[in-house]
Amino acid sequence: MIENENIKSQDSAEKAAKVEQEAQRKDVRNRWLLSLPALSIIFLAAAGPLGIVIIYSFLTPGDYTGVIWTFSTETWISVVLERDFFDETLGWADAHLSIFWRSIRLSLITTILTAIFGIPTAYFIATRSPRSRNIWLFLITIPFWSNLLVRTYAIQELIRNKGVINNFLQWIGLTNEPIEMMFTDFAVGFGMTYVYLPLMVLPVYASIEKLDFRLVEGAYDLYASRWLCLRRIIVPLVRPGLIAGSILVFIPCLGAYVTPQILGGGNQLMFGNLIALQFGQGKNWPLGAALSITLMVIVMIALVYFVKVSSGENKENG
Amino acid sequence: MTNNNEIINVQNVLKIYKGDTDVYALNDVSLIIEENEFFTLLGPSGCGKTTLLRLIAGFEHPTSGNILLNGDDISLLPPNKRPVNTVFQSYALFPHMTVAGNIAFGLEMLGWTKQEVSKTVEEMLELVKMEELKNRRPSEISGGQQQRVALARALAPKPKVLLLDEPLSALDLKLRKQMQIELKRLQSETGITFVFVTHDQEEALTMSDRIAVMSEGQVLQYGNPREIYHHPENKFVANFIGDSNFLSATVESENAILSDGTKLKLPKSKRSESFGQKSILIRPEHVIMKSISPEKSTFKGKIYNIVYFGTDTHFHLELPTGEDFTIRKQNTPNEGNEFEIGSVVELVIDEDAIQILND
């Protein structure tokens, strides 16, 4: 009898183990099943086209549009270098390089400007009462409700030669001639700062809101001046938000298309416009593809740099 | 005690928070804290004790009145200009710095040289026994350890006064007892004046050289723990510190007469005090129960509840006046059930145990 029972209990233990294993297996399988739609979208919409872009960048441009399926590295060379029309020697592709440089420069300036305007704004919102905080955050997100194109034309309406600002300045007699603002770096920088400002404010707000102001009191108590308190306590604690905001602003700026197209016009091209040009008027798909990949590489380098900055700071105090 | 060694002198300090109705957080508070003492501000939450501490630290400024430190008026100095440091209730350790970095912070702000800083940091780590954890972040150590770091950080710049804002309230009972002893040790080793805020009367009694009992923005009484416990001046202080029996009585020249006519003899030292209808205080442990000889005894009561606490037993009695009365009796190993629920006993008190209160 006792033996029997022992066997029975062993049996049931084994059974329980089996059931558990089975359940675990099911669990894993279900997880994969659940993520399948997302994974397939990622694969189809990102990995697939990316592969096509890489392949196209190594082909020869077609006569009018599209590609001819002959392998060539000529396109990649022409991203940064230019073959002289007469003697075929290679020189820097100044047109491309100046556009790269403008993109990086304007993106950096935009990031810095959004930080300068965004940090005080975020600080202001974070120090309101919880109720009015929500209202301010809501106000910050209002621009997202209307189309980017519409908003960009609205800016154009403000800064063009016969626009609101110039009319006003002339009316009060500050200038006789309209101030040229359209189709300059200023116009592009101004537009992008406006468009991307919320993307800086929100993450910075999130970190300031989490900041424990008792730490600030603690620093004052330990003989820190206002400036040292800001530098040693507040900035390091808000840094993650600042880095997140910088990434969110800098990276889309690099590839911005609409704003430079409308406010920069034909002579202030940025990376995005250059790529678009190759697929449109330029009729050079491989070059467009190669430029896209170049942009992606620059973005990756920037990301790695941002990540390094954030983790490096942590170690410094460690 | 003379005024020669006073370190903090709070003079008629008023702190009003403006609002729909003005809140008098501190209402004409004056007190003197002496050098090298463990001074406790004791009171229920909202009594103004933390406000007073924040005024001494400099986070807030008095609406009127002065705070002197070593005779100099510091009422309006910002916190970073006062040789006073605070241990915060939440510790407020800097999360992005290590234990050593936290302790070094104040010294760096004071512009000490690298060698001085690292030497003092080592000393402090040793003082609070945290040498091994000096490279950890605050998030990587326990609450009790964070507490020690907060202490070390505040002690490192060798302040004239250390302010402690309920620093033990987040710790569990056992750790709290340890830290009470630890704090007392640190205070005597460093010779720094500690001003300690708590709502825990036991903590206040065990640690303090002197206690100020506060309520509704005022200091009701201040003195050493014995004075406060044995000679509370009013009902609030008596009630807040320790267990109390309050009886209403008519005080005459030699006796306090209870409402049923029972006469309790007053100690000689208290006979000259004001007469009339008063509350008198008798601590539960100052009464001895005796099996009765009813006709003779005047002060008696009927036991209606007995609660056993291990170290002692609490007897709840009803007096002939209808008032409740509690007696605490220490337990002994060979104890029997001497007294039972329902029995009437005689109450014997030393006349010195009677305290007349001003309401």
Contact (CB<8Å) A318/B110: no
CA A219 to chain centre: 35
Residue B127 CA, chain-centre distance (Å), reads 25
What are the residue boundaries of the structural domains of chain A, listed by start?
Answer: 2-56, 94-316
Which residues touch A22 (CB under 8 Å, ≥6 apart)?
none
Predicted pLDDT at B359: 64
The b/e string for B13-43 (b: 16+ C-beta within 10 A; e otherwise) is bebeeeeeeeebbbeebebbbbeebbbbbbb
Which helix (H) or strand (E) element contains residue A165?
Answer: helix A164-171
CA distance A83 to chain B (A): 54
CA distances from B83 to A239, B114, B117 (A): 31, 21, 17
Strands B23-34 and B6-17: antiparallel
Residue B153 domain-assigned?
yes
> Of B271, B247, B272, which Cα lies nearest the Cα of B347?
B247
Say which residue the tokens 């040789």 belong to: B83
In this structure, what token pair is assigned to residue B219? 């200091």
Give dist(CA A137, CA A122) in Å, integer.
9
Burial of A34-57, coded b for 16+ CB within 10 Å and e otherwise, reads: eeeeeeeeeeeeeeeeeeebeebb
B95/A220 CB distance under 8 A:
no
Q: What's the confidence (pLDDT) of residue B96? A: 92
Residue B317 forms part of a structural domain: yes
Question: Which of B58, B95, B105 lies nearest to residue A222, judging by beta carbons?
Answer: B105
Whether the Cβ atoms of residue A35 and residue A263 lie closer than 8 Å to each other = no
Containing structural domain, residue B157: 6-230
Place of tokens 């006519």: B261
Cα A6 to Cα B65: distance, rounded to the nearest angstrom: 84
- For A225, nearest residue in chain B (alpha carbons): B80
- Cα(first)–Cα(last) distance of chain A, in Å? 66
CB–CB of A284/A278 below 8 Å?
yes
Strands (E), chain B: 6-17, 23-34, 38-42, 64-69, 72-73, 84-87, 161-165, 193-198, 210-215, 218-223, 245-251, 255-258, 263-265, 276-282, 287-290, 300-308, 312-318, 324-330, 344-349, 355-357
Measured distance CA(A243)–CA(A212) in Å, rounded = 19
> In this model, does residue B270 exceed pLDDT 80?
no
Q: What is the pLDDT of residues B31-72, one digit of tens each?
A: 999 999 999 999 998 899 999 999 999 999 999 999 999 999
Contacts of A221 in chain B (CB under 8 A): 57-59, 79-80, 84-86, 154
| Nearest-CB residue to B88 (from A214, A233, A236) | A214
**Is CATH 2.40.100.10 what the domain over A94-316 is classified as, yes or no?**
no
Q: Over 80: is that where the pLDDT of A267 sits?
A: no
Mode of pairing for the β-strands spanning A90-92 and A81-83: antiparallel
Element housing A22 (H / E): helix A2-42
B101 contacts A237? CB cut-off 8 A? no
Backbone angles phi, psi at A68, to 5 degrees: -105, 135
Domain endpoint, select from B196, B230, B264: B230
Q: What's the domain count of chain B?
A: 2
Interface of B with A (CB under 8 A): 57-59, 78-80, 84-86, 88, 90, 92-98, 101, 105-106, 109-110, 135, 137, 153-154, 157
Distance to chain B for A115, nearest Cα, Å: 22
Residue A316: per-residue pLDDT: 46
Closest residue in A to B106 (Cα) is: A222
Which H or E run includes A68?
Answer: strand A67-68
Q: How far, in Å, CA of B281 to CA of A222, rounded?
A: 45
Q: Are residues B212 and B98 in the same domain?
A: yes
Angle subtended by helix axes A271-279 and A285-316, to nearest 10: 160
Distances (CA, A) of B79 to A117, A185, A259, B280: 30, 47, 49, 45
For the segment A271-298, what is each residue's pLDDT rounded down to a tens digit?
A: 889 898 888 888 888 999 999 999 999 9
pLDDT at A82 over 60: yes
Picking from B230, B260, B291, the residue at the C-terminal end of a domain is B230
Pair (B330, B207) in one structural domain: no
pLDDT classification of A161: cutoffs 50, 70, 90: confident
Contact criterion met (CB below 8 Å) for B109 and A224: yes
Contact indicator for B335, B341 with CB cutoff of 8 Å: no
Residues B170 and B309 grouped into a single domain: no
Range with the poorest average pLDDT among A89-98, A102-111, B87-96: A89-98
B81 with B202, same domain? Answer: yes
The strand pair at A81-83 and B324-330 is best described as unpaired
For residues B353 and B266, give the distance between their C-alpha atoms in angstroms, rounded to a whole number.
9
Q: Assess if residue B311 is contained within a domain.
A: yes
DSSP three-state, residue A95: helix
What percent of chain A has a predicted confidence (pLDDT) above 70?
Answer: 94
Which range of A28-32, B145-149, B331-335 scores highest in mean pLDDT? It is B145-149
- Cβ of B98 within 8 Å of Cβ of A318? The answer is yes
Q: How far is CA B37 from the centre of its chain?
A: 14
Residues B256 and B207 in one domain: no
Residues 6+ apart with CB under 8 A from B30: B10, B11, B12, B13, B65, B219
Question: What percent of chain B has pLDDT above 70?
Answer: 95
Mutate to test the interface with A, among B85, B88, B105 (most CBs of A within 10 A): B105
pLDDT over threshold 90, residue B351: no
Q: Are residues B261 and B191 in the same domain?
A: no
Smallest Cβ distance to B92: which of A214, A225, A237? A214
In a domain, B124, yes or no: yes
Q: Which residues contact B359 (CB under 8 A, 6 or more apart)?
A: B234, B235, B278, B279
Residue B235 lies in a domain: no
* First and final C-alpha spacing in chain B: 28
CA distances from A167 to A8, A78, A155, B131, B301 (A): 95, 45, 14, 70, 97
Burial class (CB in 10 A: 0-12, 13-18, 19+), A76: middle
Q: A223, B97: Cβ pair inside 8 Å?
A: no
Q: Are B296 and B318 within one domain?
A: yes
Shortest CA distance to B17 belongs to which of B49, B61, B56, B57?
A: B61
Q: Look at residue A3 in the predicted model and tell me its pLDDT.
A: 55
Q: How distant, in Å, are the alpha carbons of A55, B52, B80, B295 from that of B9?
A: 82, 12, 20, 57
Q: What is the mean pLDDT of residues A297-309?
A: 88
Strand partners, B312: B330
Residue where a domain stops, chosen among B181, B203, B230: B230
- Contact indicator for A220, A153 with CB cutoff of 8 Å: no
User: What is the reported pLDDT for A73?
Assistant: 85
In this structure, the dihedral spanned by the alpha carbons of residues B166, B170, B171 and B176, taken in order and rounded to 10 degrees, is 20
- Is the model's pLDDT at A314 over the cut of 60? no
Asked if residue B237 belongs to a domain, the reply is no
A16-32 pLDDT per residue, tens: 888 888 888 888 888 88
- Does one domain contain both B215 and B105? yes
Binning pLDDT at 50, 70 and 90, where does residue B273 land?
Answer: low
Which tokens in the block code for residue A27?
């669990």
B85 and A236 within 8 Å at the Cβ level: the answer is no
* Total length of chain B: 359
Predicted confidence band at B2 (pLDDT cuts at 50, 70, 90)? very low
Instruction: Tell whether B238 is covered by a domain.
Output: no
Which residues does A193 contact at the CB level (< 8 Å), separation at least 6?
Answer: A110, A113, A114, A117
Instruction: Give domain status of residue B1, yes or no.
Output: no
Q: What are phi and psi of B13, to 5 degrees?
A: -80, 130
In B18-144, at which residue ranges do the beta strands (DSSP E only) sit?
Answer: 23-34, 38-42, 64-69, 72-73, 84-87
Helix (H) or strand (E) segment spanning residue A67: strand A67-68
Which domain CATH number covers B334? 2.40.50.140
Entry field: residues in chain A: 318
**Is B212 in the same domain as B342?**
no
Closest CA to B208 of B228, B232, B238, B190: B228
Amino acid at B142: S
pLDDT at B1: 42
CATH (domain of B146): 3.40.50.300
Question: Does ipTM surpass 0.90 in this model?
Answer: no
Cβ contact B80–A215 (<8 Å): no
